[in-house]
Amino acid sequence: RGFIYKGNSSKECSCHRTYRLTSRYNGIAEASGLPSYEELHKLKYLGETDVFKKLRSLPEQIAKKHLKNVLLFVTGGLRNQKTTSVAKTIYGIVTSGKTVKYLLFSDLIESFTKNETSDDLVSTDWLIIDDCFEGETVNFKTTYNQFYNLILKRNKPTIIVSSLSKYDLMNRKDLPSYNYDMLVK
């Protein structure tokens, strides 16, 4: 039944733990349009380079060092498997017992526009915002302060995913300017 009983105590067995955490990831994936656990493992994935290995080990490294204010930018061109890498990272976060909220930048900006943001964006252990600064239809300038304040309020790791390069983020005139140190950490 998922637990090993010994005397008056019980311990969750590894099979049940894997099933429970995989189900939790699949719930996040289904709600977010990410590949399910099964689909994730069937994908042709190039994630054995050093960059992908570092991203995958990030949650463990942050937990070991007890880091809190971590803001990570994952950048790269289209079709570079950023979202797949982030999905694998989310699975690692979920299996470590942490909570994660994944959403698209356009959905976040829309929730700001409608004043529908929730406290779970600040309180979740990990916040991952995908497709940042990419939508031409998103009027980011009007909601920049809300976005910036959200990032500042969080005292927990945040990952921002964008197909724009660090150079593009720094030099686009239609976006607010960014602190260079924030981008290179």
What are the residues whose beta carbons fall under 8 Å from the beta carbon of 149, sequence distance 6 or more? none
Q: Which of 85, 134, 88, 77 is nearest to 109 (CA)?
A: 134
Q: Which of 143, 155, 159, 156 is nearest to 89 (CA)?
A: 159
**In tens digits, what is the pLDDT along the chain, a chain of 185 residues?**
667 777 888 787 778 788 888 888 888 888 877 878 887 766 665 555 666 677 777 778 777 887 787 888 787 777 777 888 888 888 888 888 889 999 988 888 888 888 877 788 999 999 999 888 775 545 566 677 788 888 888 889 999 888 877 677 666 655 544 444 443 44
pTM of the predicted structure, to 2 decimals: 0.71
Is residue 58 a contact partner of residue 89, using CB atoms and an 8 Å limit? yes
Tokens 């959905």 -> residue: 107
Is residue 175 a contact partner of residue 169, using CB atoms and an 8 Å limit? yes
End-to-end CA distance of the chain: 45
Residue 151: both structure tokens together:
């990032």
pLDDT at 60: 80
Q: Around Cβ 109, how many Cβ atoms within 10 Å?
A: 23
